[in-house]
Structure 1
Amino acid sequence: MNLLLEDSSPEKVPILLEDLITTLAESDRIELKQEDIFFLLIVILMVENDFVPVLNNGVEWEQHNSIDKEQLCYWKRTGSYEVTFLMSSFKDIPLKLILCPLGTTMSINLLINYDSTDVYSVMLPHIKYVVAPKAPTIPMIFNDLRDLCYKYKDKIIVPVKSRILSYYGFPSASLLGLPAEVFIYLLLYLPLKDILNLSETCKRIRYIIETDNFWHKLYIRDFDTSSEKDDSSWKTLYIAKYQEEQDKKLKACRLTGGLNSMLPISRFGAHLDHPYLWALLFD
C-alpha cells in the first residue's frame, strides 16, 4: 500500500481504498451509501494495522483480491456490519467488528472472542468523513481522514493490540495492555481523587477499579487497619471508614475554630474533594 489512510488528501487516497470503491460502484445491484463507504474506511484501517478480514467462505482476504457487492452484502446482513478479523501472527484469536449506524453516527465495537468482557467501542460521525458519496473523484468523497485515523487508533487499535500482546505474554507500551493485577499495583500509588478520575476514562479501567479486590487493597492502604468483613463490599466499608475519618477531622476543626467550623458534617467530604469526585465515590 503506497499511501496510508491518514496521509490521504483531496487529490489522493490509498490505492486499496480506491480499488474497492471502484469495484463496488461498478455493480448496479445496490447503491453504495455513506454508511457502506465509511465501513470500507474502517476495513482499510484494520488492514493497515495488521488485521486480516475473513470472507464469508472462511478464507482470509488478501489485498490483491477484490471485495464484491456480494461480500459487502454478507457483511451487512441485519442493518449493521459484522466482519471477523484475525491479527497477523496471532491468528488463533478471532476479533468481531460490529458497526451499527445510528442516524448520522456510527457505533463501532470490536470484540475479542477469547474473553467476552473485552469490548472496545467508539462512536464516530460517519457523515463528517464521508461527505460526498457521488463526488466526481474518489478522493473528493472524503474529508479529514487523518482525524478519523487518530481517533480510531486511539480508541480501538492501540488498546486491542496491547490486550492481545498482553494475552500472549509480550510486553506492551500501552497502559490498557497491562494485566489487571499489575494495573491495580500501579493504582495504589495514586491518591483517591486521581483513582476516581481514572475510573472515568474507559470501561476496562472502571471495571478494574470497581472490583472488590481493589477496594480491599485500597482500604488496607489508606486506613492500615484490619476489619472483619460482613456482607458489605469492601467499597461500602471504605466509604463508611472514609466518612468516619472526615467527621473526625471536622470535629477537630470545630474545636480549634478553624475555617471549616461552620460546615455541616455531611458536607465535609465534599469540601475536601471536588463534589463531582465525591459523587463518584458514592454512586
Structure 2
Amino acid sequence: MLEPILVEDCTYTKLVPSLEIVLNDLNENSTHHDYMVALVIVLLAEAGFYLSSTNNNYSRPKLKSLHVPKDWKSQETGVYEMYFQPETVPDIKCKLVAFPLGDTLILNFFPLIDGKITYTITVQTLKYVNPYSSDLCGRYMRLKEISYRFKDKLSTPVRSDILHKAGVMGPSLQAFPTELKLRILRLLDVCSLKRMAQCCSEFHELCSDAQLRRYIMLEHIGGRGNKATGEQR
C-alpha cells in the first residue's frame, strides 16, 4: 500500500506522517477540539502556511517537522490563537483564531495586511473527530471532506489575498497583475463585463475603466456595424 502524502489520503490503518507527528504532541487529556486544531495545522501546512518562527531567520519548512505550539490555547477561555507564514511570501503573517462553542469550533483565518478579510467556517468537531477511538488512525473521520472544505473556504482565499497584496502571480484571477486582468477583461463582451463588475469592488473599479469601456464599445458594438456593412477596420 502506498504511503499517504496528504491528509485526504489517510486510511483507517495509516495516517499521513505529518499528522501523526503533530499528534505526538498531544496527550491523554487532549480534547476533541485539540485534535481538530492539530489537524488544521497540518491542513494549513499542506496549503503552504507554516507556524510562524520565533526568530527572524526564515528557512524552508517541512511537513514532517510540524508541531503543536505550547501556547496555542488559552487556559482561561479555551480559544486557540496561532500565527502562520505563507511559504511564498514569508514576510506577511497570518493569524488563526479558533473559538470552541460546545461541540462546535469556529475557525477564523486572515492575513495581517491592510484591508484584510477574515474568512470563517464553522465545524461540527464530532463529525470529523472520534474522541473514543483507542488508536490514532480511528480518531478521525471524513478527512477528505474537511480537507476540501478547509482549503476551499479558508486557506485558498487567504493565499490569493496575500499574493494579490504582494503583487505575486498566483493560481487565481485575483492574484494576476492589473495589466493582465485588463487584458482578460478586454476579451469579454458587454454583458460579461457587467457580470464581472458585480464580483467584487476591485473588478467593479477595473470594469469602470474609461479606456476599457471605450475599447469594448468599439470592439463589440462598432465592430458589428463594420461587419454588417462589409467594411474593413
Q: TM-score, normalised by structure 2?
A: 0.69
Q: What is the rounded CA distance, in whole Å, between the counterparts of 2:124 and 2:48 in structure 1?
A: 24
Q: Distance in 2 between matches of 1:210 and 1:79?
A: 41
Q: Which residue of 2 aligns with 1:163?
A: 161
RCO comparison, higher one (Cα < 8 Å, 6+): 2
Change in CA separation of 1:158 and 1:23 when aligned onto 2, cut-off 3 Å: closer
Name the amino acid aligned to 1:140: G
Deviates more, 1:14-23 or 1:85-94: 14-23
SS in structure 2 opposite 1:151?
helix
Contact 1:158 1:174 in 2 (8 A): no
> Displacement, 1:12?
1.4
Residue in 2 that maps onto 1:134: 132
1:23 is paired with a residue of what secondary structure?
coil
Q: Distance in 1 between matches of 2:50 and 2:209?
A: 42
Q: Secondary structure at the match of 2:71?
A: helix
| Range with bigger deviation, 190-199 or 39-48 | 190-199
- Is 1:73 the equivalent of 2:73? yes
Residue 12 (structure 2) aligns with: 10
Paired residue type of 2:162: I
Considering only CA atoms, is the larger Rg found in Structure 1 or Structure 2?
1
Point out where structure 1 has 5 or more consecutive residues left out of the alignment: 200-204, 225-283
The question of whether the paired residues in 2 share the 8 Å contact of 1:184 and 1:208 is answered with no
Instruction: Report if the CA contact (8 A) 2:105-2:124 is conserved.
Output: yes
- The aligned counterpart of 1:242 is none
In 2, the alpha carbon distance for the partners of 1:208 and 1:13 equals 42
C-alpha distance 215-90 of structure 1, shift in aligned 2 (>3 A):
closer
Higher helix share: 1
Identical positions, percent = 24
Shift of 1:125: 2.5
Q: Match of 1:83, as an amino acid?
A: M
**1:106-161: CA deviation from partner (whole Å, max 9, x where unpaired):** 3222211122433222233222111x113111111111101111111112222222
TM-score scaled by length of structure 1: 0.58
Q: Is the 8 A contact 2:7 2:143 kept in 1?
A: yes
Q: CA distance change for structure 1 residues 155 and 73 in 2, over 3 Å: closer, same or farther? A: closer
Give, in angstroms, the shift of residue 85 of structure 1. 0.3
Deviations 1:218-257 (A, max 9, x none): xx89xx9xxxxxxxxxxxxxxxxxxxxxxxxxxxxxxxxx
